[in-house]
Structure 1
């Protein structure tokens, strides 16, 4: 990587990744209400879920230096809407943070002290990777910091790291003018465990049904059964956002989240031009507080 990123460029990359994440999330969520035919998409508006809400909180605190976990936790506690599809454990944790419990205690207390191994840290992570497109090692470190706010389990953290690195590789490829390969780079920067093992297995898979069967489709909402598949989809369809969303819908399972992860990674590579304009228009507008926060940080 031979480029230098200035704050404005970092933010632009992150916001384009957020657009891909949020459109994928909102369109994927339609799958649970009706059969989705991408040749005749559902009527607007497409409401986004907790995936997008958490990603907006993440983007709102992006700045130079280490990821600000305290500020991120405060935004998660303040803005989370339980009716956006949060799991029961996340609702309890974020309510506790809102009420003043320090995030390290809240995160470590989840699931009887085991910490969460869910895919919540991964679903919001792509914009952070796009921000750190100039250093995969730094992207991995910051991905772990961001994940730890809500996920104390090693697999939950690894899921956040893997998606962060994938988006960083994708954005770097865009800036370098070359289509990158994601899987090897992600495996090289992801901690050992089930998530990394899944990413390594993904390198030999060729079809969507095979990948969903071998890697999982997020039906258990765990990092290890959703992140490797989403990254496989992003790697396979890196220059074709609609095809990636179609692949996630075909696979079933936690469709909004796999669409969010793959969509955020791919948009880091394609930019807004890769997302069909009609889909961007159909997605429910992002929250007004995000615009205010990002404008203040410019």
Structure 2
């Protein structure tokens, strides 16, 4: 098995220091995914060195970044590549070309899809998803779009060259875009409640509507939607409709698009940002 030089040096130093004093040393090495990220970008390595001389133990923790510079263990890589390739085959059967380039972002544009971000605020990433849904439902004259932060799963920041696989990683679920007609007072309630759920997957991200008082009042073109007496045409997903207050009988489904959020975002980014 290939060794990480930093980790190996740490172990050797601790073992050597114990060998000076004791005749027998047992080493316990634990590696686990760090709580700080969801895709094993960081490993928390715990080293326990136990002596049979006095039944004592010495523990040490260190974090190791997983990068392309870290050598692969051959058997593990073979298994990982098998499932990776199988996944790509499945994407192609669904009509995707994972390696195809969608667009190239400007150097000053970053699509923040980190869980800590998309579950607590509307980022450029979630705003662009909303805008793509508005474009898709333009025929229905939608003026507001909302999604839940938990629909974004990439837990990373996209920069520069964007491939279809990047978008699949961002929106892996088959959530289909729909258009609803929603009374303003109810839409305001959904926005207020949804934006209060920071850290939750049902946290609501939005576009085109504004709040300047922490989510108590929602304005569209300067008008308080809760007091307008109007219905608003909203682009969202069936998931949002079914699992929020939008499941009321008086909310009208205008259109069920046969297009997923994933493909909607791909189409939108291709248009908005120049190809490479």
Say which one has the larger Rg: 2
Where relative contact order (Cα < 8 A, 6+ residues apart) is larger, the structure is 1
Q: Report which of the two has the higher share of strand.
A: 2
